[in-house]
A = this chain, B = another copy of it.
Amino acid sequence: MKRQADGRKARGEKRRTEIIEATLRVIERDGVAGVTHRTVATEAGIPTTSTTYHFATLDDLLVATLIDCARDMATEVYWMIDRARSHGRGRGAEEIAKLLAEALGPKRGRTMAEYELYLLAARKPELRPAARRWLDVLTSMVRHDDEVAFRVFLAGIDGLLIQGLIDDEPPGEEELRPVVDYLLNPR
C-alpha cells in the first residue's frame, strides 16, 4: 500500500488527511483563531502529540489545510463555470447564482473558512501560490476572449461572496441572479 521512492502515500498519510480535515472543520466552526494543536486533535479524536508530530508548527498545519482547501475550491469553481457555459447564454447566470446562494447558505461555514485562509495568505507569502491556485486554474482553463472582462468577473464573484457573508440573511438565488447576469453580460 506504500508508494516507495516517488509517491507520497506513506503509512501516516491517513492520519495526515484526518488532521487536515479536522482542521478544516475547526475553522468552519470557530475560525482560524480557534485552531490550536489541541482543538484539532480533539476534533479528530486523536492525542495532541499526533498533530505536532505530523505538523511541526501550527503554520505548517494551516499551510497544508489551505493547499488542500484550494484544490477543492479550484475544481468546484471550475465545474461551476463549466456548467454555466454549457447552458445557454441566459441560463449561465442562473446556474452560477444558484451555486453562489448555496455557498452563502448551507455552505456558509465553508465559505467563511476559505476566505479566512485566503486572507491568511495575504500575510504569509509562502501561502500565496496555494491561494492563487484556483484563480490561476480558472484563468488557464476557462476560455476568456476578453482579459479585462474576465478579471472583472472573478473580482465580482469574490466581492459578492464576501459581501454576502456579512448580510444578516444571505441573499437568495433570485436576488443574486440579475447581478450575476449583469456580471456576465453587462449592458
Contact = CB atoms under 8 A, between A and B. Distances in A.
Interface residues of A, number: 39
B179 A155 contact: yes
Chain A interface helix/strand/loop/mixed: helix
Nearest to A31: B123
A162 interface: yes
Interface string A166-187: 1110000000001100110011
A131 interface: yes
B154 A163 contact: yes
Given A31-B123, A155-B156, A179-B152, A166 B112 contact: no
- Chain B CB within 10 A, most for which of A121, A122, A132, A168: A122
Nearest to A155: B159
Interface string A74-95: 0000000000000000000000
A157 interface: yes
A16 B165 CA distance: 29
- Point out which of A154, A159, A178 has the most chain B C-beta atoms below 10 A from its C-beta: A159
A103 interface: no
A178 B15 CA distance: 48
24 contacts: A32-B33, A33-B33, A116-B119, A118-B166, A125-B168, A128-B166, A131-B166, A132-B166, A135-B163, A148-B178, A148-B182, A149-B186, A151-B179, A152-B182, A152-B186, A154-B163, A155-B156, A155-B157, A155-B158, A155-B159, A156-B159, A157-B159, A159-B162, A186-B187
